[in-house]
């Protein structure tokens, strides 16, 4: 399942205007996806981006456009790589579920069962499932640290292990932006002998031919689109963090992340919380087997029972004390978290059974097992909001309308 559309035998339609900024292929029934992608450039200030969609296992759209640098030779292409930030969490969660299917992990067991040092500071009883669902109470690291510690998996794990919870584990819900990856990476390392990035490459990316890396090889650096930070943007209606200690810790953590995230050593580090680099096809391709009951092309990633568990809709009404908006997570993945009409920067509106993960700035990938949809969208101009904006959501909406779904007024497409 390589990024090239030539690997899928389905009738596709090439764009008729070669001079148009948008290139790629799109099946006629999904022309709305192409129209939405074009609008992102004409109306929503897209710089460079790509989208890839599979339905029923067939590639129905693979489009790209814009530029990823200065000069005529810097046009976006199908192999252009992007930092996908927290979309990486979906890949790491997948690795954890694969190990659970093998019997190597049990999400009801304490993290300290696999990693004894984590049990410090009142964390001995925190089950792995609370980490996956952002309920563990350790969403940030209080002690100041530098980029060297951020990019060193063992150092970041040690800092996380020394933390005490900001709230009683399980009593509240708040996005664990860095520590989610630090904990899962260390647990995966303890039980498999591999980092999350190495496990993902060997068990997922390489077997399925995905251009998706958690630890980018130096040889691929030239294919990476540089990050474009947002200018002015409309602020989301998010509630402020009231815990001063938590707010200070989060600000420090984010400052280190933002200071490092444009560098090649960040992309090479394999940061499990958000260091992933992918093409749109690589991101969609990871979710392709998950949209088809857990397997594709004779290779199984997850059991059907696991797919059934992680595709259960979660109520999007829990106030996230870190992001300041209602969010919904299920065993490491995000599910729809808008209610009624979607508001840019606050929502994540998918099908009722869909699950995936967004990334800082607006990238997103997901699987919808009920509708057999796998989706990936990457771009290099960040949105500065806590969730998706009109660009990704417009593409998602076009996909669901194309397969015949009619409404998202209930908070998810159906």
What are the tens digits of pLDDT across the range 174-195?
999 999 999 999 999 999 999 9
Q: Average pLDDT, whole number, for the chain?
A: 91
Q: Domains plus CATH for the chain?
A: 5-402 (3.40.710.10)
What are the tens digits of pLDDT across the range 11-60?
444 444 433 489 999 999 999 999 999 999 999 999 999 999 999 999 99
> Against a cut of 0.85, is the pTM above it?
yes
Please check the confidence at residue 9 and state whether its pLDDT lies above 50: no
Give the phi and the psi of residue 256 in degrees, each rounded to 5.
-65, -45
What are the tens digits of pLDDT across the range 130-157?
999 999 999 999 999 999 999 999 999 9
Instruction: Give the distance, in angstroms, between the CA of residue 164 and the centroid of all CA atoms in the same chain.
Output: 27
Instruction: Give the distance, in angstroms, between the CA of residue 310 and the centroid of all CA atoms in the same chain.
Output: 15
**Half-sphere exposure at residue 384, Cβ-oriented, CA atoms within 13 angstroms:** 8
What number is the average pLDDT over the span 69-88? 86
- H or E, element range at 379: strand 373-379
| pLDDT at site 326 | 83
Please check the confidence at residue 297 and state whether its pLDDT lies above 50: yes
Residue (of 358, 357, 353) closest to 400 by Cα position: 353
CB atoms within 10 A of CB 237: 10
Percent of the chain residues past pLDDT 70, beyond the cut: 90
């Amino acid at each position: 399942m390589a990024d090239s559309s030539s690997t899928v035998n389905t009738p596709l339609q090439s764009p008729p205007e070669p001079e148009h900024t948008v290139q790629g292929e799109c099946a006629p029934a999904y022309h709305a996806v192409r129209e939405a992608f074009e609008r992102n450039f004409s109306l929503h200030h897209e710089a460079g981006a790509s989208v890839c969609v599979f339905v029923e296992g067939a590639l129905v759209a693979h489009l790209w456009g814009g530029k990823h640098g200065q000069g005529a030779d810097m046009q976006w292409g199908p192999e252009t790589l992007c930092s996908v930030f927290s979309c990486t969490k979906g890949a790491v969660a997948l690795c954890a579920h694969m190990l659970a299917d093998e019997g190597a992990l049990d999400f009801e067991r304490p993290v300290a069962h696999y990693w004894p040092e984590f049990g410090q500071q009142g964390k001995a009883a925190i089950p792995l499932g609370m980490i996956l669902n952002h309920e563990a109470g350790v969403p940030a690291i209080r002690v100041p640290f530098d980029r060297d510690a951020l990019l060193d998996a063992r150092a970041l794990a040690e800092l996380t292990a020394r933390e005490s919870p900001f709230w009683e584990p399980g009593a509240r819900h708040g996005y664990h932006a860095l520590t989610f990856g630090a904990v899962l990476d260390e647990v995966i390392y303890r039980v498999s002998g591999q980092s999350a990035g190495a496990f993902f490459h060997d068990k997922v990316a390489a077997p399925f031919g995905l251009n998706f890396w958690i630890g980018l090889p130096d040889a691929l650096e030239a294919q990476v689109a540089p990050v474009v930070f947002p200018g002015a943007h409309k602020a989301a209606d998010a509630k402020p963090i009231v815990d001063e200690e938590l707010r200070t810790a989060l600000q420090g953590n984010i400052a280190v992340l933002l200071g490092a995230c444009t560098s090649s050593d960040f992309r090479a580090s394999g940061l499990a919380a958000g260091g992933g680099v992918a093409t749109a096809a690589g991101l969609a391709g990871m979710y392709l087997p998950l949209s088809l009951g857990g397997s594709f092309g004779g290779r199984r990633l997850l059991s059907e029972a696991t797919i059934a568990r992680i595709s259960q809709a979660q109520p999007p009404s829990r106030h996230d004390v870190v992001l300041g908006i209602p969010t919904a997570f299920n065993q490491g993945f995000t599910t729809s978290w808008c209610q009624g009409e979607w508001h840019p920067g606050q929502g994540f509106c998918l099908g009722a059974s869909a699950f995936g993960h967004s990334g800082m700035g607006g990238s997103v990938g997901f699987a919808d097992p009920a509708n057999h949809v796998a989706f990936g969208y990457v771009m290099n101009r960040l949105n500065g909001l806590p969730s998706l904006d009109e660009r990704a959501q417009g593409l998602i909406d076009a996909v669901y309308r194309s397969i015949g779904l009619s409404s998202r007024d209930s908070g998810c497409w159906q």
